[in-house]
Amino acid sequence: MAVSRDFDTATRRAPADRRHLRTAITLLVLAAFVAIAGWYAWNTITDPGSAEMADATAAPTCVPALPTDAPAPADIRLNVYNATARNGLASEVARGLRARKFAILDVANDPLGRTVSRTAEVRAGTNSQAAAAVVVAQVSGAVFVADDRTDSSVDLVVGQAYKALAPAGTVPTPIPSSATAPAVPAC
């Protein structure tokens, strides 16, 4: 009888053990799924990561008017930011702009963390359009992106397509709209 009792105990525990094992595996799979979904959502919110998203969020909001009273480069408070994976790019551009007498404030990676696929973005408040137009003229293909800042600083954010500064002495001109981009109103 003792043998049958041991056998009965062993057979009764086996289905319960399998059930507990299935429950534990299911919970682990669900926890992994939630963790991956949370990680993906966080990365999507904090860094769009795709060129399409970067282009959509960085589209020019308006075209700065031709400045009639463009400030001298020494009067433009300029931050130079790198929005690429190329090390030292912002420093290289800042050296070239210092040689052109710009007042460089900060040289770093893009504080917004965006990926800029264009040559460059010039970010400034609408009250600094003349200064922004002077900076736009320094990089061929740069676009102006108005933001809500109230100070007179201007950010030059160097992008993936950047090759070199435009020739010195380039006259500021409005940003031409591309065939694929909708017309952008004047600021």
Query: What is the tens place of the pLDDT at every residue in 14-47?
Result: 666 778 888 889 999 999 999 998 888 887 777 6
Distance CA 48, CA 43 (A): 7
Residue 124 DSSP SS3: strand
Domain boundaries, given as residue ranges, for the chain: 1-46, 54-158
Has this prediction a pTM greater than 0.85? no
CATH fold of 54-158: Alpha-Beta Plaits (3.30.70)
Query: What is the tens place of the pLDDT at every residue in 140-171?
Result: 889 999 888 889 899 999 999 999 998 876 65
How many residues does this entry show for the chain?
A: 187
